[in-house]
Amino acid sequence: MKVKSGFSLIEILIALLAGAIVSLMSYEYFKDTSSIKNKITAKIDLDASQMIAINTLRLDLMQSVSYQMKDLNGRMTNSVFMGNIGENIMKFVAMTTNDHSNNFSNLRRVIYQLENNSLVRTTTLANNENFIINKSILLNDLSNVDITFGNTLNQNLSQWPSSNSTLSTYPKFIFIKFEYNDQESTLILSNYRG
């Protein structure tokens, strides 16, 4: 009896079908993996933006100094911190460490504002708000922003200074609630003074 070598047509077709199924499954797996990777990367980028904004705010508060600000006309305000006054969320003076200009002092007025649902940080000279040194958008697409101030965790004042007795002081706590990227966040910040 003579033995034939080689594959039959059925065996070849089955091998091609198996290869096609493996290729299709691999394509679907890699397509899903790529989609998941893109979603994770986008989420990480949004979280990173939020963390950079929060850390910038914390750093500014840690570098804040009790310096009485002047108004736009150059008159003393007797206030070292202003919160929710006009369009400003917060306004205070900080000693910056990243500006090594020989032309101006390192004291900077730091102003946080909401403009078109964006958190904007502006730095100016300490006594001249019209001289803008830097203006940057920290977060976009914020909604339902609520900021309150207090000297205890239970105190929620909508403005600071709230009375003549708080003119030359910082609030012990700053409470910020907001929605960003469809997530609600609550921050409790302090200027780290006793």
Task: Give the residue-averaged pLDDT of 142-155.
Answer: 88
Cβ-contact 94, 63 below 8 angstroms: yes
Name the band, by pLDDT with cuts 50, 70 and 90, for residue 102.
low
Q: What are phi and psi of 188, to 5 degrees?
A: -120, 110
Residue 191 has pLDDT above 90, yes or no: no
Query: Residue 55: which region, alpha, beta or left (left: phi > 0; alpha: psi -120 to 50)?
Result: alpha
Of the chain, the percentage scoring pLDDT greater than 90 comes to 20
What distance in Å separates the CA atoms of residue 75 and residue 123, rounded to the nearest whole number? 19
Paired strand residues for 94: 64, 108
What are the residues whose beta carbons fall under 8 Å from the beta carbon of 25, sequence distance 6 or more? Answer: none
Q: What is the pLDDT of residues 128-144, one digit of tens each?
A: 888 888 899 999 988 89
- pTM of this structure: 0.75
